[in-house]
Amino acid sequence: MLQQRSREMLAYTGVVCAALFWAGNAVVARGVIDTVPPMALSFWRWMVAFAIIVPFSLPYLKASLPVIRRHWRILLVLSFLSAGMFNTLQYLAAHTTTAVNITLVNSTMPIMIGIFAFLWLGERPGRRQVQGILIALAGILVVISRGSLEVLASIGFAAGDLLMVLAIACWGFYSVLLKRYGVPLHPVMLITVIIAMALPITFALYLFEMGLGYYFPFRAEVLPPVLYVGIFPALLSYLGWNYGVTVLGPSRAAIFIYLMPLFAAVLATVFLQERLHVYHAAGGLLILVGLYLATRAGPRAMAAESPAAGGSGSRD
């Protein structure tokens, strides 16, 4: 029991850090939107991540090869949905819609993952979890609307919003398939394989972008943001998210996505000199209350979503 509780606390830490680093990803992407083309940012992000993680995965390579050969089809699908398309679509959407709309569409991710988890895993959210989701969603709307119904009513939708919907759908499929099939690979080896399989996809898109006349500026000032998105949102977020989904299940892990706008507001204040307002505090409080309610699952719900019910445990 104590070991299971420790695993759950580590899983919660992982998904919270994933939300924090993804929020930083949004801030960085917004900061380089006029400098680095979206496909270039996606490709070099994963090149940095791959170069860093390969040395750590080599000790697991020999033992992992039979598993990779046996599960290569689902690994290819996971790679395409996550490293291949999710972030690429997000970076592309940042050029065709507003940051407010990106945050708004992102806030639907827990709901979409919950629907997928119900359809394919049979996970049924409890009453307390539904209440927590609704309260956290209200907090998201407070932050997005800046506490004004007029601002919320004036939000329009652009073509890029469809890209964000596709990105969220890709991540929903990824999270549910990750739990459903539970590929028995060490976490470091799993993310290495995902990146390796996704690199040809992002490289092809990068070449297509260059063919349109958009080039990556190899200058010193673009190195820090590329290193950040390669290390934190790419590597550490994926490791934390994968472990969280395995231990908590996709529905419970997805609720922590609601922390992204709160983290983004704080990071924007620190790095972009944007100001915090009362509505940030009010929305943040609602989000935290919602998370508290949604994650206080009873013993039956926790047992139903534990790795023993079909996940890959600490192997993933």
What does the angle CA 195 – CA 196 – CA 199 come to, to the nearest 5 degrees?
A: 80
Report the pLDDT value the prediction gives residue 179, as an integer from 0 to 100.
85
How many structural domains is the chain composed of?
Answer: 1
188-205 pLDDT, tens digit each: 999 999 999 999 999 999
249-262 pLDDT, tens digit each: 887 888 888 788 77
What integer best gives the mean pLDDT of the chain?
Answer: 81
Report the pLDDT value the prediction gives residue 304, as an integer from 0 to 100.
42
239-297 pLDDT, tens digit each: 999 999 889 888 788 888 878 877 877 776 777 666 667 776 787 787 778 777 766 65
Q: What domain range is 41 assigned to?
A: 2-315
Coil, helix or strand for 138? helix
75-110 pLDDT, tens digit each: 999 999 999 998 888 888 877 766 656 666 777 777
Overall average pLDDT of the 22-34 stretch:
80
Distance between CA 146 and CA 141 in Å, rounded? 8
Helix (H) or strand (E) holding 71: none
Fill in the DSSP letter of residue 35. Answer: T
Start-to-end C-alpha separation, the chain: 20
Tokens standing for residue 64: 């992992």
